[in-house]
Amino acid sequence: MCGIVAYIGNDAAFPVLVKGLQRLEYRGYDSAGVALLDPSLKVYKKQGKVAGLVEFTENASLKGYAGIGHTRWATHGAPSDANAHPHVSASGRLALVHNGIIENYALLKAVLEKQGHSFTSETDTEVLVHLIEAIMETEEVPLEAAVRMALQRVVGAYAIVVMDADNPDLLIGARKASPMVLGIGQDALYLASDATPIAEYTNKVVYLQDEEMVVLRRGGTFEIKTIHNELLKPTVQELDINIEMLEKGGFDHFMLKEIHDQPRTIADCMRGRINAREGWVHLGGIEACGSRLTEARRLIFAACGTSWHAGLIAEYLFEDLARIPVEVEYASEFRYRNPILSEEDVVIAISQSGETADTLAALQLASEKGALTYGVVNVVGSSIARNTHAGSYIHAGPEIGVASTKAFTAQVTLLTLMALHLGHRKGTIAEDYFRDLLQELETIPDKVAAVLEQDELIRSIAVEIQDKSNALYLGRGYNFPVALEGALKLKEISYIHAEGYPAAEMKHGPIALIDEEMPVIVLATNQSAHEKIASNIQEVKARKGKVIAVVTQGDTWIRDMADYTIEIPETLEPLSPLLSVIPLQLLSYHIAVMRGCNVDQPRNLAKSVTVE
Ligand code: G6P
């Protein structure tokens, strides 16, 4: 939620900021703004996307070698020019960008108002920049000390960068519970919400930790301290992102590129971790946990959104293959439920961004209660990756489309590897079946590529659904979570109301909705419940619903019942979600494009939800 970027160096700051904001736009796109020292402080901000800001500043001089920028996902105050960041202090000397929420802002605001401050926005952020300046004045301290003192009064989450017109060679950043990365370039320094705005300038980064501040000086020197003024030795890390990963690579949208990336990302996730010929699966994260994972009394998956759907698939995988009882929790519910946890439990957080506030908080709670915590994360160095006892990266590379696609299949791949590893170690899976699954897993990237070749057919089916107001997705067993994910994809990017259901549950309610206007997308690949699914299709057809069936190649029986069929290659049932989700991703994509929706940046959504 909200992206921030800052630059100080010898080049013009504006182009660096704008490019950085474009990379961070997945975090929110309600407004965009920059502040530059030109050499006086100039602020340009506009409701809407970064492209709108660029248009707005077309005739501005935009000088300055230091600057801060922000792209907003609105929390306090509607999207508007006034509520856009950067916000400035009472005298106009300081400018600040913020990602997070200052929870006690109303209290702080009331005190400042009594002291004569007036505010031009409804945001919590404006209160913070006023507070910093008020402290500078009343305590007669320099900016750095004032930022420190202000942050000690703040309750909530923040990643901030402050600039001061009276100190043009200085920027100050700080974070707590919202991410911030420092980039160390040649005579230039960068701050950003993630590494994507930094990657094209340098591969040297420092991931700031909670309650840390960084003071950046022109010339490339910096200091990292706690907000209690203890100097820290920075841990400089090397980035593993290349620029091609951040571009559309000839596709019309990031989402389409990411859908087509999946043969590679699934292979990347497995690379070096399995060998079907030799019959082994290895995950360093599991090894690091000793026996705590194999002997766990219970596994609890905590996640949100699409990652929660991956968790539901994990429930089938781990119970089926490793015979460990599993619960799957919405992180936001779990953390407030006073859950019963012990040292025998393992809480596994699944998160693409590694920054989702509720998932992070669920982990912290689990850790406090003595459970082992494990992260299944995409973004390297993210908060969840750093705040778990152990974990495994899914190696999907940067995912930029707001609707998650390649991260989902990489999560499911990784969770499959985990279940296989544990099942094999525990002896709950027959050796032959284990080897069959490994062999089959190695073929999945090619089979995904074969599904992608049906893009044109899927597009033609999308034509039939594009004008509908509702859609129903049905699946059983391993494919039930895929039905939920298919429905979520459609809702997210095309704004068509969609529901996912276990196929048998249809009779307990949703069947009432079926008429000739209702497309019903049925995942009908399951070997184990094939007849049952066929009956469910008949029930839909009897009520004049339109059936779009995803079937195994050569399944003429279902094909003859359905209005449209999409064939996917045959695979073993535990691996079927990796194939069956692909047509649903493409279907949503094409429908959204046909409806003229902004596929990569759907309304009201953000990719990284760092507020509760
Ligand atoms: C947001 C995104 C979803 C994502 C969810 C969880 O809602 O729009 O695509 O699945 O957050 O995010 P995470 O980064 O924790 O997987």
CA–CA separation, 75 and 66 (whole Å): 27
Sign, CA dihedral 42-192-347-319, equals: positive
Stretches where the chain sits below pLDDT 70 are 611
pLDDT digit string (tens) for 224-234? Answer: 999 999 999 99
| Phi, psi (rounded to 5 degrees) for 327 | -125, 145
Q: Would you please indicate which residues are annotated as catalytic (active-site) residues? A: 2, 607
Query: How close is the Cα of 319 to the center of ligand 1, in Å?
Result: 25
Which residues, 6+ apart, have CB-to-CB distance to 531 below 8 Å?
none
Nearest Cα neighbor of 17 from 74, 89, 85, 67 is 67
Residue 384 Cα: closest atom of ligand 1: 15
pLDDT in the model for residue 542:
84
Pick the residue whose CA is nearest to atom 5 on ligand 1: 305
CA of 485 from ligand 1 middle (Å) equals: 12
- Looking at ligand 1, which residue's alpha carbon is closest to its atom 15? 351
Closest atom, ligand 1, to C-alpha of 404: 9
| Ligand 1 pocket residues where CB is under 6 Å | 304-307, 351-353, 356, 359, 402-404, 605, 607-609
Nearest residue (CA) to ligand 1, atom 4: 305
CB atoms within 10 A of CB 508: 10
> What is the predicted pLDDT for the residue at 158?
95
Burial grade of 449 (CB within 10 A; 0-12, 13-18, 19 or more)? middle
Count Cβ atoms below 10 Å from residue 203 Cβ, excluding itself: 17
pTM (two decimals):
0.84
DSSP structure string for 148-203: HHHHHH--EEEEEEEEETT-TTEEEEEEEBS--EEEE-SS-EEEESSSTTTTTT-S
Distances (CA, A) of 87 to 37, 125, 211: 14, 7, 22
The confidence score (pLDDT) of residue 533 equals: 86
Phi-psi region for residue 109, left (φ > 0), alpha (ψ -120 to 50) or beta? alpha
